[in-house]
Amino acid sequence: MATWSMTAPVIWGIKGVMASVRRKNFGGNLLLQPASSYTPASEEEVLRILDGHSGERLRAVGGLHSWSEAPVADGVLLDLRRLNHVEMQQDAEGPVAVVGAGCRIKRLLEELDRQGGSTLPSLGLITQQTIAGAISTGTHGSGRNSMSHYVEGVRVARYDPATGKAIIEELNAGDGLRAARCSLGSLGIILTVRIRCRTQYDVEERFSEHRILADVLDAEASFPLQQFFLVPWRWSYVVQHRREGTGSRSRLAWLYRIYWLLVLDVGLHLLVLFFLRVMRSRRLIRLVFRRVVSLFVIRGWTVTDRSSSMLVMRHDLFRHIEIELFVRRPRLDDALHFAKEVLEVAGGVRSELSTDNQRRLGELGMQDDLAGLRGRYCHHYPICVRRVLPDDTLISMASGAGEDWYALSFISYGKPKDREGFFLFADFMARSMARLFEARPHWGKVCPLDAGELASLYPRFSDFRALCHRFDPDGVFRNRWTASLLDTETRDAASNRVEDA
Ligand SMILES: Cc1cc2nc3c(=O)[nH]c(=O)nc-3n(C[C@H](O)[C@H](O)[C@H](O)COP(=O)(O)OP(=O)(O)OC[C@H]3O[C@@H](n4cnc5c(N)ncnc54)[C@H](O)[C@@H]3O)c2cc1C
């Protein structure tokens, strides 16, 4: 039976577990106050809920690990955590999994391994997201396409415009599939995801530190899965060289895991929190990053272990907030220089950008915005840079053929009440980098651009809009944020190119 409540708090009916109707996201920046909430256990229950709420706004949520307004549900909230089955299949191209929308990635990985020695081809840094939530915002790792790209079919519940009744539709080809691969929850309620898998593999990893970006990028030929960190205030690159392992797993892999957990996942974060929240000293934060942080990294220790252990970390242990901006490879160097200069101005260690960047900012008419940022935000976390291969989707951040994308992430561990400086910085970076480098903000992270700015970054945005309107003409699966993106009509040349959905 689906559980249902019109008043808070609600009993969610999961073996006696109670949850309040009011829910906060991981980052603590969103409060969800839906009018009613359900945790359906079957597709039939989802259809019944839709039929019972016809004409109202509905929204599915996953693990609430987004910072953007994507999961905000103010009408009817559906939490599909009980639709979490995993069924392995085998076809000519290899293993493929049919997964219930609410299945967490962690459980999915365990099931894939247990049922057939398989795994996902691409993973984000954590495994707390649900499969539907992860693909709906284009979740990605490094060195591969985002997870969305590997989706081969989606079952979606929506309304039949002719009868007004809830129906289930399968999207497994054409632009319908491309839209469903990253849909911001706006096509309907995703019930199952069919995703291409691969046989289990190992990853070999070692750290090194470099001063020059070209050296880091050159190493990609040998380490295609690598990611790197620009260390603020030291301005060096700490590189996690990674590739598929060909030898056996390291005997000391267990020790490496303990090192990661205690030293990096916990120790490094406690150090940052201490200087940020207890000492509250920008000078000391800068000193720590210049002199201490890189000492946490053991260089030259090569370790090989299972991919699902090596590619993730416990980044979810401490609450934080993040903006991530995607630029094409030819713009990476320029974008990182720009980011460094802006961080120095925001941190109060320089008053202006370099002459070139100052001129470019002048052309955008954004000098006053930079002046407003001066001295307002001291960045305090390594800037993670990950390569994402172009996705075959309509609007995931890496969508569109061409050069690889690089995602630059800026994370703040400031308390929720102390985030004003971060939001100023995030807003400035998103707007300036969109115009200077055509940088696309992650859909699931802080995403401060308006509909026009976002649409201009995606050649196929109007196609996505058209499909959303075809699937959901009354906009019942939109929340306020996605309605602001999707209900604005911007006609362009691409708008009639929607293939069969
Ligand atoms: C600590 C941390 C680390 C992260 N690391 C990474 C990373 O390495 N790479 C990366 O790219 N991102 C990362 N993210 C972002 C995260 O992967 C995305 O925001 C993802 O969308 C969250 O999934 P979720 O299950 O929590 O979904 P939610 O945040 O609950 O929802 C996301 C979207 O999915 C929609 N949705 C959910 N379920 C359904 C459904 N059944 N039907 C239709 N729509 C649905 C929601 O409506 C919403 O629009 C990280 C986030 C955190 C907090």
Ligand 1 contact, 59 CB (< 6 A): yes
Percent of the chain with pLDDT over 70: 93
Residue carrying structure tokens 């392992």: 245
Q: Which two tokens stand for residue 418?
A: 């102390």
Q: 321-457 — its CATH code?
A: 3.30.70.2520
Q: How many CB atoms lie within 10 A of CB 5?
A: 16
Is the pLDDT at 190 greater than 80, yes or no?
A: yes
Q: What is the largest CA-CA distance in the chain?
A: 66
The pLDDT confidence band at residue 488, using thresholds 50, 70 and 90, is: confident
**Per-chain mean pLDDT for the chain:** 93
The CA 323 to ligand 1 mean position distance, Å, reads 14
Which residues make beta-bridge pairs with 204? 243, 304
Which atom of ligand 1 is found nearest the CA of 188?
Answer: 43
The CA 66 to ligand 1 mean position distance, Å, reads 5
C-alpha dist (Å) from residue 437 to 279, 325, 327, 353, 434: 36, 10, 7, 16, 6
Q: Identity (one letter) of the amino acid at 310?
A: M
Does residue 436 contact residue 364 with C-beta atoms inside 8 Å?
yes
Is the pLDDT at 501 greater than 70, yes or no?
A: no
Domain 10-79 - what CATH class?
Answer: alpha beta
State in Å, rounded, how far the first CA of the chain is from the last one. Answer: 32
Q: Which two tokens stand for residue 16?
A: 């006696």
Q: Indicate if the alpha-carbon torsion angle 140, 142, 145, 147 is positive or negative.
A: negative
Angle made by CA atoms 349, 376, 366, in degrees to the nearest 5? 90
Q: Which of 29, 39, 126, 310 to mutate to test the pocket of ligand 1 (most atoms within 8 A of CB)?
A: 126
Question: What digits encode the pLDDT tens for the residues 369-385?
Answer: 999 999 999 999 999 99
Nearest to 139 by CA among 103, 181, 170: 181
Give the helix ranges, DSSP H, for 375-460: 420-437, 451-457
Is the pLDDT at 9 greater than 50, yes or no?
A: no
Ligand 1 contact, 388 CB (< 6 A): no
Q: Which strand (E) or helix (H) includes residue 384?
A: strand 383-388
Question: What digits encode the pLDDT tens for the residues 125-174?
Answer: 999 999 999 999 999 999 999 999 999 999 999 999 999 999 999 999 99
C-alpha dist (Å) from residue 123 to 63, 324, 340: 16, 16, 28
Ligand 1 contact, 185 CB (< 6 A): yes
Q: What is the pLDDT of residue 10?
A: 40
Between 64 and 19, whose confidence is greater?
64
Question: What digits encode the pLDDT tens for the residues 225-238?
Answer: 999 999 999 999 99
Is the pLDDT at 212 greater than 70, yes or no?
A: yes
Which atom of ligand 1 is found nearest the CA of 83?
Answer: 41
Question: What digits encode the pLDDT tens for the residues 249-285?
Answer: 999 999 999 999 999 999 999 999 999 999 999 999 9
Average pLDDT over residues 73-89: 96
Q: How many CB atoms lie within 10 A of CB 367?
A: 13
Domain range summary for the chain, segments of one domain joined by +: 10-79, 86-199, 202-244+251-301, 321-457
Q: Which residue has the CA at smallest separation from atom 11 of ligand 1?
A: 139
Q: Which of 32, 47, 50, 66 to mutate to test the pocket of ligand 1 (most atoms within 8 A of CB)?
A: 66
Cα(91)–Cα(195) distance, rounded to whole angstroms?
A: 12
Phi, psi for residue 53 in degrees, rounded to 5 = -125, 30
C-alpha dist (Å) from residue 241 to 107, 119, 264, 304, 457: 27, 21, 16, 12, 31
Q: What is the pLDDT of residue 490?
A: 47
Q: Which CATH number among 3.30.465.10, 3.90.870.40, 3.20.20.30, 3.40.640.10 corresponds to the domain 86-199?
A: 3.30.465.10
Question: What digits encode the pLDDT tens for the residues 402-443?
Answer: 999 999 999 999 999 999 999 999 999 999 999 999 999 999
Ligand 1 contact, 346 CB (< 6 A): no
Q: What is the pLDDT of residue 305?
A: 97
Q: Please tell me if the domain spanning 10-79 has the same topology as the one spanning 86-199.
A: no
Q: What is the pLDDT of residue 489?
A: 62
Give the helix ranges, DSSP H, for 311-418: 332-346, 355-364, 367-373
Does residue 103 contact residue 124 with C-beta atoms inside 8 Å?
no
In sequence order, which residues have a C-beta less than 8 Å from that of residue 44 and are 6 or more positions away?
A: none
- β-pairing, 36-38 vs 76-79, is parallel
